[in-house]
Amino acid sequence: MIKSLRANHHILANTQEQLRILSEGMFADGELPTFEDKLSLINEYPLKPNSLEIFQVNVGYMCNQVCKHCHVDAGPDRKEIMTRDTMKMCIDIIRKANIKTLDLTGGAPEMNPDFRWFVEEANKAGVDEIIVRSNLTIILANPSYHDLPQFFKENKVRVISSLPFYQPDKTDRQRGKGVFEKSIKALQMLNEVGYGKEGTGLLMDLVYNPAGAFLPADQLQLERDFKKELKNHFDIDFNSLFTITNLPISRFLEFLLRTDNYDDYMEKLVNAFNPAAVKGVMCRNTLSVDYQGYLYDCDFNQMLGLKVQKAAGQHLRDFDINKLENREIKISQHCYGCTAGAGSSCQGTVA
Amino acid sequence: MEKTYYDPADLKKFGDVAEFGPELAKKFFDYYGDVFKEGALTAREKSLIALAVAHAIQCPYCIDAYTSDSLEKGVTDEQMMEAVHVTTAIRGGASLVHSVQMMNKSKKLSM
């Protein structure tokens, strides 16, 4: 099994090094316009948020998988984990700020020992929707997780799961040997309790990331392919497929640099810049919370250590919706990933 | 790079051919753009055809461009390889079918 960049003491485990790479080279030379330049041209700089709708909480970086493209650099060796006290602060804010959606991510969020408590409390707090970003294999990883589909159902959780492809090869190359087979089994278990089935109201969506240095295919076309193939071969039903562009940070950045794809990939993202996608980027309606309770404009900025603007209050204990909704969103060249082509967000394309 | 015939960086300069003849270049690129639009064939089908033709005419720039394009249109590795085998079958078949002429001639000349 490959290890996280952190466990390998890789230089890219340092966020400052990643930010240095993103700001230098073609962008410093003027060969390519910076993201700030592009936003200025369309009068969107500084980038400002709309109303806060989604609270995306990263409950820890521990994961049972070590995917090659992971922007979190998650893995079994990552011990960072959110405590119940921090979760309590999140619940208070959900109540006070009328948050519509709680989006739980990780690592494998289910590995946090207080995960189930958090979900139940969020439901009591009256949130409209709870999303769990499940890697699927966690359901089979240990008998204590086998009842997760039932737990999700009882708590009306929306399950969003990564499945890079409807065939084993690409999935296993990106996410680890045997992941495809386990993912299929987990999807079937979710189907068995009603997820992805018409009329149950239990939503199960899949996420597609390209398995390499290229942009995702058309979301609708790919959704048709996935639905047809998964139904024909494994009798699996699901609701929607979301395509997400790989952002050049963490392990994917390491891949781009190691394989000499970095310059071409960045050029591809810049050339595919779509002003229409800027309107719907997720940082405008989402706030990302890390395991310690610090606030970020998105999960990617979290992994780069770019907290929200200081004046907006950088921790849950300083939470002030007015200040946050008037902040300036922090950007770097990785943001081109969210505005390329049809755009990219945790809910798929945006334009 | 001056002593090689192909430079990958030249692919990005394709548009620069307008420098020596803008009018015809514009016509070509307009036409090119229209050809690859979704039509009776899907954009994905057109990308695969382009990939197969690229192998027939052995254009490294085109192979580079349409491998990326095919991946971005959700084409699998298996499908790309099958497209290349179609190219190979046609190319091989094109030679082989001429053997009928050879056989005809041989039979005519032979007692």
- Give the 3-state DSSP-derived string for chain A, with helices as H, strands as E and coil as C: CCCCCCCCCCHHHCHHHHHHHHHCCHHHHCCCCCHHHHHHHCCCCCCCCCCCCEEEEECECECCCCCCCCCCCCECCCCCECCHHHHHHHHHHHHHHCCCEEEEECCCHHHCCCHHHHHHHHHHCCCCEEEEEECCCHHHHCHHHCCHHHHHHHCCEEEEEECCCCCHHHHHHHHCCCHHHHHHHHHHHHHHCCCCCCCCCCCEEEEECCCCCCCCCCHHHHHHHHHHHHHHHHCCCCCCEEECCCCCCHHHHHHHHHCCCHHHHHHHHHHCECHHHHCCCHHHCEEEECCCCEEECCHHHHHCCCECCHHHCCEHHHCCHHHHHCCCCCCCHHHHHHHECCCCECCECCC
Q: Kindly state the average pLDDT of the residues A247-268.
A: 96
pLDDT higher than threshold 70 for residue A236? yes
Q: pLDDT tens for residues A167-205? A: 898 888 888 889 999 999 999 999 999 999 999 999 999
| Among B68, B79, B80, the residue to mutate for chain A (most A Cβ within 10 A) | B68
| Among B51, B70, B72, B78, the residue to mutate for chain A (most A Cβ within 10 A) | B72
Q: How far does the CA of residue A222 sit from the closest CA of chain B (Å)?
A: 7
Q: How far does the CA of residue B72 sit from the closest CA of chain A (Å)?
A: 5
**Residues of chain A contacting residue B73, judged by C-beta atoms under 8 Å apart:** 217-218, 221
pLDDT higher than threshold 90 for residue A228? yes
pLDDT higher than threshold 80 for residue B108? yes
Q: How far does the CA of residue B21 sit from the closest CA of chain A (Å)?
A: 25
CB contact under 8 A, B77 and A222: no
**Residues of chain B contacting residue A167, judged by C-beta atoms under 8 Å apart:** 76
Q: Kindly state the average pLDDT of the residues A311-330.
A: 97
Q: Kindly state the average pLDDT of the residues A87-116.
A: 96
The confidence band for A273, taking pLDDT boundaries of 50, 70 and 90, is: very high
Q: Give pLDDT, residue A3.
A: 85
Q: Does A218 touch chain B (CB under 8 A)?
A: yes
Q: Does A46 touch chain B (CB under 8 A)?
A: no
The percent of residues in chain A predicted with pLDDT above 70, rounded, is: 99
Q: Kindly state the average pLDDT of the residues A201-222.
A: 95
Q: pLDDT tens for residues B60-95? A: 999 999 999 999 999 999 999 999 999 999 999 999
Q: Give pLDDT, residue B71.
A: 95
Q: A166: nearest CA in chain B? A: B76
pLDDT higher than threshold 60 for residue A331? yes
Of B71, B72, B74, the CB nearest to A225: B74
pLDDT higher than threshold 60 for residue A1? no
Q: B66: nearest CA in chain A? A: A214
Of A169, A170, A217, the CB nearest to B73: A217
pLDDT higher than threshold 80 for residue A2? no
The confidence band for B1, taking pLDDT boundaries of 50, 70 and 90, is: low
* pLDDT mean across residues, chain A: 95
Q: How far does the CA of residue B77 sit from the closest CA of chain A (Å)?
A: 9
Instruction: Among A159-173, A249-263, B28-42, name the one with the lowest average pLDDT.
Output: A159-173
The percent of residues in chain B predicted with pLDDT above 90, rounded, is: 92
